[in-house]
Amino acid sequence: MMHRFLAPAKAELEDAFDHYEARRPGLGVEFATEVHTAIDRILQLPLACPRISPRCRRCRVARFPYGVIYQIRPDHIVIVAVMHLRRDPLYWRDRAEP
């Protein structure tokens, strides 16, 4: 199965990468690796993560306080948000595709 990022989700990933890289060189790469590992888990077992809305699920990212919010489509996964878990938990809802 393939995946695609919504533009705001891609921007969140890049912003978090920059934040962690500024804190310590290499930490941004570690963060991105963990996010992509979470996406690999999603692609292998898309139904394994809990629902957080009728159409969306969340996969926790290891080592970092982030979750990957996604929707399952017939032929691909849509990454809706790369969400910091201490943010407003519903800020991404207007992005979710019906």
| CATH code, domain with 48 | 3.30.2310.20
Strand partners, 82: 68
Give, for all 98 residues of the chain, the pLDDT tens digit: 899 999 999 999 999 999 999 999 999 999 999 999 999 999 999 999 999 999 999 999 999 999 999 999 999 999 999 999 998 888 888 887 66
For position 97, what pLDDT does the model report?
67
For position 88, what pLDDT does the model report?
85
For position 98, what pLDDT does the model report?
62
For position 31, what pLDDT does the model report?
98
CB 79 within 8 A of CB 98: no
For residue 90, report the phi and psi dihedrals to the nearest 5 degrees. Answer: -115, 5
For position 92, what pLDDT does the model report?
85
State both tokens at 4.
């695609």
Q: Which residue type is seen at 16?
A: A
For position 94, what pLDDT does the model report?
84
CB 34 within 8 A of CB 17: no
What CA–CA distance (Å, rounded) separates 91 from 83? 9
Residue 93, domain member (yes or no):
no
Residue 34, domain member (yes or no):
yes
Domain limits for position 67? 2-86
Residue 44, domain member (yes or no):
yes
Among all chains, which residue has been given the structure tokens 């996406």?
Answer: 39
Residue 50, domain member (yes or no):
yes
Residue 15, domain member (yes or no):
yes
Domain count, the chain: 1
